[in-house]
C-alpha cells in the first residue's frame, strides 16, 4: 500500500514535468518513454556490474566467453597527479564546478595521427541536443572514429537538468531555448570557458584550433559561443540548429557552417514552431540565421553552389577569407547526416547518407584556424 501511495503522489509531479521536457531532438517524452529509458539505463548498468563481478571466477562459462565488457581508462576526478599523469589514447570523463554547479564532460584522445607524440592537439566541442547528454551525441555522431582518422581531441560536455532529473533530459542555455537551462539562466558559456581551461591542464591543446559543433539545442548553443567566445572558438558547425540569441556581436569575424534539412519538424527550416516540438519556441529561420552571419562576417561574395546527392552547398566568403556555408538537405529531418538514428520510426525524419557531417565539418575546420 505504501508503494501505491507513493506512486499516486509522484505521478502528478511527473505529468507536470513531462509537459516541459525534451528528448535529444526536441520531441515530447511520455511517461512510458522516460520509464523505458530509465529501465534501459539500469539494465545496462546491471549487466556491466554483473559482468565485472563475475569475471574473476566465471571466465570459463559460455555466457562469459560470449560477453564483451568495455572498460574505459580510469576517469580523471579532481586534481590527483593531474600534471604528471600521461594520458594514453582512449576515453575519459571529468568533473568541474562552475558557479556552484558540478558539471561533467567526457572526452576522447585519438588513436590516429600524432598519438603518443608531444604535440598540440586540435579540439572539437560537440554539444548534445536538448534532452540528451554527452554520450548521446557521441553515439549519434560517431565522432570518435573521425577524431582517430584525422587526429583531434573531441569533447562531449553535459548540459544541465531540472530539479527532478538532474542528470537526465539535459539542455543548454542557447538564448531562447531550451528547457531548464534557460529557465534557470545557467551560464553555459562560463562552463565552456572553464572546460577549455581545465582540459588544457593535462592535454596539450592547440589554442588556435578549437572548434564547436552540436545538434539541435547543442547547435544553437554552439552558435551562441560564436557570438560570445570568438576569442577561444576558431569556427563553428551547426547541425539542425539556428541562432537563438537576439544580440550577437562576436569579437572578430568567425566562419560558420550550417547543415539543415528542409523537412525538419523540430526546428523548421523556414522558422516558426516545429510540429514535433513542445517548446513552443518561435525559431528563427535558416535563411535569417545565415543572412545574419553573412552580415556580421562581411561575406557578401557568393563563392558558388554545388550539389552532392541530396545536399545543396552554398558558400559565401569575405575578402578576409571568412566563410559562411549553408548545406541544405533535401527532405532531410532533424538528425546528424551520416550518423546514427537514436529514435525509432519517423520521429526525426530522413538521415542523409550522401554526405558525412563529420568529414564535411572537419575539412571546414581545417580551413579556418584562429587568425
The pairing of strands 153-157 and 121-127 is parallel
pLDDT digits (tens, 9 = 90+) for 177-191: 999 999 999 999 999
Q: What pLDDT shows up at residue 47?
A: 38
pLDDT score of 323 more than 60: yes
- pLDDT beyond 90 at 169: no
Q: Where are the domains of the chain?
A: 76-367
Burial 83-116 (b: 16+ CB within 10 A, else e): eeeeeeeeebbbebebeeeebbbbbbbbbeeeee
- Distance CA(303)–CA(314), nearest Å, equals 7
pLDDT in tens, 35-82: 344 444 444 433 333 333 333 333 333 333 333 333 344 455 444 344
Where does the pLDDT of residue 34 fall: very low under 50, low under 70, confident under 90, or very high at 90 and above?
Answer: very low
Measured CA distances, 342 to 45, 229, 365 (Å): 19, 30, 26
State pLDDT tens for residues 333-369. Answer: 999 999 998 775 567 789 999 999 999 999 999 999 9
Contacts of 173 (CB under 8 A, 6+ apart): 181, 182, 185, 186, 187, 188, 221, 224
Mean pLDDT confidence for 205-221: 98
* 355 backbone φψ class: left, alpha, beta (φ>0; ψ -120 to 50): beta
CATH topology of domain 76-367: Rossmann fold (3.40.50)
pLDDT in tens, 278-303: 788 999 999 999 999 999 999 999 99
**pLDDT of 27 higher than 70:** no
DSSP 8-state class, residue 371: -
Q: Give the pLDDT confidence score for residue 24 in this predicted structure.
A: 38
pLDDT at 197 over 60: yes
Q: Are 233 and 226 in contact (CB under 8 A)?
A: yes
Condensed to tens digits (0 to 9), the pLDDT of residues 123-135 reads 999 999 999 999 9
Report how far residue 12's alpha carbon sits from residue 339's, in angstroms, rounded to the nearest whole number: 37
Amino acid at each position: 500500500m505504501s508503494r501505491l501511495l507513493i506512486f499516486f503522489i509522484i505521478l502528478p509531479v511527473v505529468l507536470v514535468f513531462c509537459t516541459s521536457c525534451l528528448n535529444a531532438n526536441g520531441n515530447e517524452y511520455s511517461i512510458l518513454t522516460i520509464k523505458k529509458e530509465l529501465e534501459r539505463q539500469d539494465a545496462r548498468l546491471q549487466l556491466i556490474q554483473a559482468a565485472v563481478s563475475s569475471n574473476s571466477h566465471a571466465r570459463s562459462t559460455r555466457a562469459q566467453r560470449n560477453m564483451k565488457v568495455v572498460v574505459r581508462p580510469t576517469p580523471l576526478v579532481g586534481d590527483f597527479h593531474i600534471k604528471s599523469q600521461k594520458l594514453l589514447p582512449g576515453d575519459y570523463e571529468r568533473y568541474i564546478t562552475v558557479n556552484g554547479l558540478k558539471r561533467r564532460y567526457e572526452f576522447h584522445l585519438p588513436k590516429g595521427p600524432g598519438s603518443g607524440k608531444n604535440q598540440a592537439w586540435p579540439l572539437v566541442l560537440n554539444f548534445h541536443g536538448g534532452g540528451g547528454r554527452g554520450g548521446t551525441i557521441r553515439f549519434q555522431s560517431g565522432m570518435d572514429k573521425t577524431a582517430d582518422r584525422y587526429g583531434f581531441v573531441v569533447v562531449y560536455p553535459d548540459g544541465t537538468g531540472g530539479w527532478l532529473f538532474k542528470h537526465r533530459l539535459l539542455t543548454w542555455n542557447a538564448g531562447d531555448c531550451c528547457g531548464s537551462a534557460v529557465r534557470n539562466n545557467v551560464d553555459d558559456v562560463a562552463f565552456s570557458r572553464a572546460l577549455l581551461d581545465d582540459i588544457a591542464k593535462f592535454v596539450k591543446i592547440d589554442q588556435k584550433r578549437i572548434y564547436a559543433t552540436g545538434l539541435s539545442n547543442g547547435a544553437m548553443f554552439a552558435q551562441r559561443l560564436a557570438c560570445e567566445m570568438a576569442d577561444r572558438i576558431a569556427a563553428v558547425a551547426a547541425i539542425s540548429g539556428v541562432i537563438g540569441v537576439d544580440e550577437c556581436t562576436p569579437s572578430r569575424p568567425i566562419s560558420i557552417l550550417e547543415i539543415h534539412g528542409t523537412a525538419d519538424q523540430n526546428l523548421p527550416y523556414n522558422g516558426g514552431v516545429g510540429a514535433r516540438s513542445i517548446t513552443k519556441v518561435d525559431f528563427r529561420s535558416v535563411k535569417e540565421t545565415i543572412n545574419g552571419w553573412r552580415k556580421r562576417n562581411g561575406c557578401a561574395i557568393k563563392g558558388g553552389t554545388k550539389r552532392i546527392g541530396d545536399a545543396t552547398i552554398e558558400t559565401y566568403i569575405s575578402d578576409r577569407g571568412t566563410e559562411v556555408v549553408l548545406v541544405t538537405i533535401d527532405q532531410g529531418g532533424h538528425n546528424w547526416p551520416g550518423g546514427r538514428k537514436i529514435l525509432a520510426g519517423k520521429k526525426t525524419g530522413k538521415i542523409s547518407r550522401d554526405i558525412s557531417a563529420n568529414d564535411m565539418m572537419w575539412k571546414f575546420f581545417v580551413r579556418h584556424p584562429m587568425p
